[in-house]
Structure formats: structure tokens, C-alpha cells
Amino acid sequence: MRTQSAVTTTYSTMEVERLKQMASDAMRLVAPSRITDFVTVVEYIITVNPKSAVNQPPATFDRMEEWLAMLAKKMAGLYVKRKLHIPETKLNKATVALLVDGLGVKRSQIPSIERGNQLVRCAENISGHILESFIASVAEPRGWTRCDSIIRHVDFIKRPANGEPWRMLQVKNSNTTENSSSMSVRKGTKVEKWFLNFSGKDKTNWEAFPDESVRPSLSDERYAEFRANYLSLQNMPPQA
């Protein structure tokens, strides 16, 4: 293998097959049920776009085992049920002054507002993960592979079929949640984008999900059921 920069390395067919086997071995030690998914993600990175990886492949083959072990743990972590964490964020003095002097809020109301802000941030911090977990539960049996936090600004990939290219999908909670760096990555690429909620409207966007084989299984009711199951009582933090 060439020892040039990792992002410009081209792997031979034999090297790709060896890396896929190494990926399989690495995931077998962490989460055996995810071997196929992990091999798909590794194959995409090394054959399609090494630059897309959050942690790019090393320049030399002798460091691949370490890289794959790290990625395997990262991917297994996508399927670990996260607990709600309420941040201890406090309103700064300037914000309090604006609320009191500019908006007429009573100082006695500040603790309640501060608590409400903490709860909203808690919900926002986990909402994207729960949405992606729901999509994964429906889309993975139909050929999609989850890869958020492994491939930059892409949440799902789908292996080529019938001569078609790889598909890359970015999932967002709202049509206002995409940041500028995410948009710049998608310029010149074929990353598909889908969002759930319309900003300022009580309307969801399931009918526009870009895979027609997945679309019929997505709905507000099914998402609510999945979310309720995810947020089971044993996962809830004590309320003050």
C-alpha cells in the first residue's frame, strides 16, 4: 500500500477485501449483530470518500487495526440507549437584565424560566438521536445503514443496487436546523436531505421521505410510540 496521505490513498481490490475482513473482526469483538452495517460503512469510507470520515483512515496499513477498533466502538455507541441529561445552564446577568428591563419579567419568575430553559435544552439535545434511531429501526431492514458521527454530515448510507450509485442521506428535526458547515459539505455532492418538522407550523414531513420503500412505515403515531418506548420510566431522570 502507498504511504501517502490517507485521504488520497487508493486501495486495491485485495486491500479493500482485507479491510472489510478486518472491519468484520473488529466489530465482532464489540457488537456482532452490527458486523454487516459496520463493513458497509468502512467500505464506503475507503472506496468512495475517505475525506467524509470524521476520523479519517490512517496513511499506512499497519495502523488500520487500531483505526477500525475505534470506529467499531463508535458505531456500536449509536445503538446504546441514551439517558436524558438536564444541563445546569444558568442565565447570564445580561440575559436576566433583558428579561426584566426589556420584557417586563418579574425577578421572581427568573428561576422558573431558567428551569424551563434547561428542560428545553435537555429535550433538544436528545431529540435528533431519537429521530435517527426511529428512522434506523425502519430503514435498516430496507438496506440503509446508520452512520451519523462516523461520516461527516451524513446520517444514513445505502449500498449501490442495480447499477445505481451509493445513496447518502442527512436527517434533520427541522427545516431550520442545518448549519453552514453542513451545507458546505453537501455542495457538489449527492447527499439527500430530509427534515421532519416545518418551522413555525404544526406539520410533519413524513410523506417526503426520499425512499418510497421506507415512507409507508413512517408516521406521527409510529414515531410517538417509538419515542415513548425509548423514554421509558427507568430512563427518566428525577424531576426537581
Q: What are the residues whose beta carbons fall under 8 Å from the beta carbon of 162, sequence distance 6 or more?
A: none
Pairing between β-strand 191-197 and β-strand 156-158 as defined by DSSP bridges: unpaired
Strand order in the sheet with 144-146: 144-146, 156-158, 167-174, 191-197
The count of C-alpha atoms lying within 13 angstroms of the C-alpha of 89, restricted to the half-sphere facing its C-beta, is: 14
In angstroms, rounded to a whole number, what is the distance separating the alpha carbons of residues 35 and 25? 8
47 burial type by CB count under 10 A (0-12 exposed, 13-18 middle, 19+ buried):
middle
The count of C-alpha atoms lying within 13 angstroms of the C-alpha of 27, restricted to the half-sphere facing its C-beta, is: 23
In angstroms, rounded to a whole number, what is the distance separating the alpha carbons of residues 61 and 58? 7
Instruction: Report pLDDT for 189.
Output: 58
To 10 degrees, the CA torsion angle through 158, 164, 165, 171? -40
Q: What are the residues whose beta carbons fall under 8 Å from the beta carbon of 23, sequence distance 6 or more?
A: 38, 39, 42, 43, 68, 71, 72
Stretch (H or E) spanning 174: strand 167-174
Using an 8 Å Cβ cutoff, are 160 and 166 in contact?
yes
**pTM of the complete model beyond 0.85:** no
Stretch (H or E) spanning 226: helix 220-230
Instruction: Report pLDDT for 186.
Output: 42
Q: pLDDT per position in the chain (240 positions), as tens?
A: 443 344 456 888 999 999 999 999 999 999 999 999 999 999 999 999 888 999 989 988 889 999 999 999 999 999 988 888 888 889 999 999 999 999 999 999 999 999 998 898 888 889 999 999 999 999 999 999 999 989 999 999 999 988 889 999 999 999 875 544 444 444 445 899 999 999 888 899 999 999 999 999 999 999 999 999 998 854 554 444
